[in-house]
Structure 1
């Protein structure tokens, strides 16, 4: 027996070997479950079914996915899990989902800590969405990630600020330098004295406030349209047209048939949105592409609604479309819209704004007016209304006279000549938009803006003494010699700084040789332009928290939101790391990790 034990091992060795083989099988089984949960989480698919019993024909996506895998996977075909280690119960699901979310968030937080600085972005509706932006110190890659949702007990500035700080403290980043904060324009968020941005400075005094540029752009265009009666009527008609063709199958089929008859590409009208100007752009482009089909449908459908829409269509739509395309669509193409790219920095966004303003000023010429009117006439000819005069009606202002009773008049003055179109519609539209652009995009102080622009190679003051403005704000001991050497470095390398981006400049500069300059440029890159990534998380929230899943708890909702929003990070997380985290949550009846002991 002694000799056999030396050759084949003793009883303890055999028991330990058998236990390790069983543990490996349990881990392999759990890895299959983790893969299914990651897939369902990334796609935002529900997990549980109404009836998960053995006799049920639909046990829910989670169980059904495992059943499909068991038909083709050799391991799942032969492996029968113990009754106390199936890991398919709701509680086990929640724990594995929590582990997947925890590993993804852990990776984000580790990168943020390595960066040494970040910007926080928040947006609130029924929940508070919290995102961060930071720059990786080695690669210079700009990252924007979602940290999670927070359920708000109240919607005042104090409650929102406390929720923000609790989230940062929970992830251990509350002590890291916060260089900026970006929110929407709601008073509770942007208030100078009582808003979240003001109260957050108690915890992060260096964090400058940047009003989301995407919201700013939307406000510029919306306010300009509201100030012009014809533009307001135009978008009202657009909404009525969408409703007319989308709510009735008869009208929709008629629209499709006319498209085929005219040889137009199949397409739908797009619904308008009050909060996203890109929806307006897509809606107008769809109307332009289907202009003849819309006109013919309204002419052939015999109903009072179609007749009324046709009258509005002829009076305003054709000429306003010619105004819309160059005036309202150009800022959308030139400025950061929803959603802007992560690589867009604040200096470039301001340069784009200035370029748009200069372009709009250059459009204030009689030649441009003639060009727009010719386009309007072309649209009218294409819809078989050749020779019809372009007439825009403007309501007369009611005279106000004290101590007199004045009758209200609904008469309208006609803007039918080229001069009237230029002076009463086109030029006021351009002036209003330029004024809004100049006034609204100014949430950052002038001194700080000069410092940020000094980090941009497209700026005439690139790497100048204006960098000292950022250094002073963030308490950095700026060395002028570093900026001078950096300028000479680009000259010696024969690099044209005008062709580089701020991110490329950051990658080219060695942080050991240019410690303060690279730190300042990193701060400028970290300052966000918009809070659109927070709004994208609400799109995931609508998919996750629908009426079929309305009983979901906050913890599970938070974890599923991370899986859905940060699917790229989740994909890079090791499945074994998730299993190890799951094994260490609490003591389990079946071991999932190896504890080796030397057997003598």
Structure 2
């Protein structure tokens, strides 16, 4: 058959257009489907063949043969039950399925009845020379010598190169191109590095939040205890192989420079979060105090603001003010702290310090210098300090009270010695008492007076027995023990500690109320008023009788110990009254006008202690409360109470003080009238917080924020000093100021530290400058 007549016949359907028949039962149907003619003919113009199909074989008629495989599909190997036969020599020969298995790279064209090399057709270079182009464009049909030609072609360099390119193509299709593979490898490295960094950041956050030291005395690899940071890294490495592999590299994020940078980043994010909330409100109050720390004077700067109508007191930083501890230096330190947080230009509406002249001076003190820049920044003398001054003054008004506190101070010194302390603990255990330590009295620690008096009263029996044993042994402390024993067994000491315990207990509760971060000026005024009322009731006769009954009961409980518990009167002893001899045989139901001698002495002692000890303490406290918490000093507190109770007649002081804050006086009173009709009585701050909205009551909302922002005490700064002594102890005294301040804010504001995102910290760390570790 002429080849041209063969191609001018209607094209047959390729087996690729039908399902592949793999069973003998379907072979007839496959042959019939393949022999079915299809309409249409190929174009005879070779100019229409695009460059994209130039790799395809072209029939003699000029049409492109399209029943061969593409790059994506692989070689086409139709499975026919019988292939077309042609006479070659004396024998009719045809293509065999055997060649598919021996040469898997070949493909068979049904339309051309020819065999092609798939890899050479698609992957041979344009400059490469294929043998007679037999397996790329023409096609092999000599079935007699096909095996020989295929074997020869398989060993050719062009075919081998094409096969290699085909294998690379298949691999690329699975895993991507080289650029893609490099991109994936880069992304995998970045992801691995970021996960390692996040874990390191979390370790730093944990140690900072808990206020624990990072570094150890030695951090060599052969040291068992390498510090908290490296020890936690070693613990992670034990259970995380990826972390261990990163930890063994040269750059492994364990240097102190890395720690300092991450600590600074965390502190910066915490300060930014605080500043963001303050900027939303628009004003703040400053709280500051100073204390000594490791040969330096540290100024603690805190602020008070509101988030909505919720009060927040936050620590900002520590500022080293050792070089300038005067008013100008402290003001400079406060401004430096506010500037570090981005709050330098935020209006200060109030300031709270202790009563030292350098802070409270009305001519050139800190509060006056701040008011020169912010005229509406009212000064609030820390109410907890003022209450403590009231307490100190009342404890020095009576000689017996001062003597009792001195005795307690000596008891603390004695039982602080190790052997005496052990004896004291064993005595408490022997008497089945709950262990309690004796606290040293102090005029600056607010709660210590109550704690020390309560400890001595509750552990009285153990203390007395220890002193008695030490007195009899004649040891080093025998003289001191004898003197303390003599004082503690006197009625004056017993009466003093019972009176002090009752009074200090109430003052202690008031102290706790004033120290709260959410305490308002109205709460402070209410607490002081309640304390004053209670002390007034204590002056009544019934209160004293109850106190004296406690004294008598205490003496009866320890009658075997208290040598001076029985009352004695001064002067000449009276003759003992006796019953007449004539009445000796009669039952006498009355005392015949005579009073029991012991009872007479107790009543005499009762009035003496009431007049000389009890009433002077109460009167001094009441007088000091009236002087330090006067009506003028509590004017803002009364105004705040009026705001919280929606009393429009009492908000005048606040409106006049903060007139520049654009609170319309008439509109705010109208809003308060509406609220009184909306909120059921009694109106409380909690109800106002739930009801008042900024968009509905803008003027009253602003007034509420002002009243809530006014500080009550400087307790926030005092609390930061406890953190200061934990973080910068004598083992960490060489810590730099920046690291010390950053660690302090991360520890104090631990709730904000816990919310920091390690991913965000790593992003900021990566973008600050070029890093040696791939992070993006």
Work out whether residues 197 and 762 of structure 2, in 8 Å CA contact, stay in contact via their aligned partners in 1: yes
Instruction: Indicate yes or no: 2:653 matched with 1:478.
Output: no
Structure 2 partner of 1:531: 714
Gaps of 5+ in 1: 394-414, 594-600
Paired position in structure 2 for 1:410: none
Structure 2: runs of 5+ lacking an equivalent: 1-164, 292-296, 472-477, 571-602
Q: Which residue of 2 aligns with 1:202?
A: 372
CA distance in 1, matches of 2:544, 2:569: 15
1:230–1:392 CA contact under 8 A, matched in 2: no
Among 426, 440, 443, the alignment partner of 1:274 is: 443
1:573 and 1:544 map into 2 onto residues whose CA distance is 21
Determine the C-alpha separation between the residues in 2 that align with 1:391 and 1:239: 28
For 2:469 and 2:343, the matched residues in 1 are separated by 64
Q: Is the 8 A contact 2:302 2:717 kept in 1?
A: yes
Which residue is equivalent to 1:381?
556
The match for 1:185 among 336, 341, 355 is 355
State the SS of the aligned residue for 2:771. coil
1:98 aligns with 2:275: no
Distance 1:157 1:338, change over 3 A: farther
Structure exhibiting the larger radius of gyration computed from Cα positions: 2
Pick one of 500, 511, 520 that aligns with 1:345: 520
Aligned partners of 2:514 and 2:524 also within 8 Å: no
In structure 2, the partner of 1:564 is 747
| C-alpha deviation, 1:238, in angstroms | 0.9
Query: How many Å separate the matches in 2 of 1:165 and 1:17?
Result: 50
CA deviation map 1:283-336 (0-9, x unaligned): 222222112222222223222211100111122321112211222321221x23
Whether the 8 Å CA contact 1:210–1:444 is kept in 2: the answer is no
Aligned length: 561
Tell me how far apart the structure 1 counterparts of residues 541 and 382 of structure 2 sit (CA, whole Å). 35
CA deviation after TM superposition for structure 1 residue 279, in Å: 1.4
The worse-fitting range, judged by mean Cα deviation, of 62-71 and 15-24 is 15-24
Mapped partners of 1:444, 1:207: distance in 2: 17
Decide whether the 8 Å contact of 1:182 with 1:209 is kept in 2: yes
Match of 1:464 in 2: 648
- Is 1:306 the equivalent of 2:481? yes
Whether the aligned pair in 1 keeps the contact of 2:285 and 2:305 (CA below 8 Å) is: yes
CA distance in 2, matches of 1:417, 1:100: 65
Q: Is the 8 A contact 1:127 1:151 kept in 2?
A: yes
Change (3 A) 1:416 1:564: farther
Give me the whole-angstrom Cα distance separating, in 2, the residues matched to 1:221 and 1:252: 29
Aligned to 1:401: none
Aligned counterpart, 1:579: 762
Q: 1:492 to 1:561 in 2, by over 3 A?
A: closer
Report which stretch shifted further, 483-492 or 427-436.
483-492
Aligned to 2:205: 38
Residue 264 of structure 1: aligned partner: 433
Question: Which residue of structure 1 lines up, in the alignment, with residue 502 of structure 2?
Answer: 326
2:620 counterpart residue number: 432
Contact 2:524 2:637 in 1 (8 A): no
Aligned pair in 2 of structure 1 residues 387, 232: CA closer, same or farther (>3 Å)? closer
TM-score scaled by length of structure 1: 0.88
Picking from 403, 420, 423, the partner of 2:611 is 423
What SS does structure 2 have at the residue aligned with 1:219? helix
> Partners of 2:443 and 2:429 in 1: how far apart?
32
**Which whole-Å CA distance do the structure 1 matches of 2:415 and 2:745 have between them?**
38
Report what 2:542 is aligned to: 367
Kept in 1: contact 2:237–2:247 (CA 8 A): no
Aligned-pair CA distance for 1:3 = 6.5
Give the corresponding residue for 2:183. 16
User: How much does 1:30 deviate?
Assistant: 0.7
In the alignment, what sits opposite 1:28?
A: 195
User: How far apart, CA to CA, are the structure 1 residues paired with 2:301 and 2:631?
Assistant: 21
Instruction: Identify the match of residue 303 of structure 2 among 125, 132, 140.
Output: 132
Look up the SS of the partner of 2:553 in the other structure.
helix
Quote the offset at 1:488 in angstroms.
4.1
Which whole-Å deviations, capped at 9, do the CAs of 1:321-379 have from their partners, x for residues lacking one?
A: 2211222321221x233872222101111111112112211221223222222211211
Q: Distance in 2 between matches of 1:543 and 1:338?
A: 25
CA contact (8 A) 1:276 1:338 kept: no
Aligned-pair CA distance for 1:495? 4.5
1:216 counterpart (386, 391, 408): 386
Moved more, 348-357 or 505-514: 505-514
Cα offset, 1:419, TM superposition: 2.6
Deviation (angstroms), 1:253: 3.0
Change (3 A) 1:60 1:227: same
